[in-house]
Structure 1
Amino acid sequence: MYQVKRTGVKRFYFATKYSLQGIKAAWVEEPAFRYEATAALVLLPAAFWLAESGMQLALLLACCFLVLAFEIVNSAIEAVVDRWGPEYHELAGRAKDMGSAAVFMMLNMTWVVWASVAWDNGYLDMIKALF
Structure 2
Amino acid sequence: MTPINSPYKSKGGIGRLYNALRYSAQGLGAAFRHEAAFRQELLLVSILTPIAIWLGRSLGEILMLLGTLFFVLIIELLNSGLEALADTITLEKHPLIGRAKDLGSAAVMLSILFGAVVWLSVIASHFF
- The TM-score with structure 1 as length reference comes to 0.88
Is 2:28 aligned against 1:23?
yes
Q: Percent identity at matched positions? A: 41
The 1-side partners of 2:89 and 2:19 are apart by: 27
CA deviations on 1:68-114 (whole Å, 9 max, x unpaired) are 11111011111011100122111100000000000000001111100
> Which residue of structure 2 aligns with residue 44 of structure 1?
49
> Which residue of structure 2 aligns with residue 74 of structure 1?
79
The 1-side partners of 2:75 and 2:8 are apart by: 29
> Which residue of structure 2 aligns with residue 119 of structure 1?
124
The 2-side partners of 1:10 and 1:121 are apart by: 48
Aligned residues: 123
The unaligned stretches of length 5 or more in structure 2 are: 1-5
The structure-2 alpha-carbon separation of the partners of 1:29 and 1:4, relative to structure 1 and needing over 3 Å to count, comes to: closer
The 2-side partners of 1:43 and 1:69 are apart by: 16
The unaligned stretches of length 5 or more in structure 1 are: 126-131
The structure-2 alpha-carbon separation of the partners of 1:18 and 1:53, relative to structure 1 and needing over 3 Å to count, comes to: same
> Which residue of structure 2 aligns with residue 53 of structure 1?
58
The 2-side partners of 1:69 and 1:31 are apart by: 15
Contact between 1:52 and 1:121, CA under 8 Å: does it hold in 2? no
RMSD: 1.5
User: Could you tell me how far 1:4 is from its partner in structure 2?
Assistant: 6.5
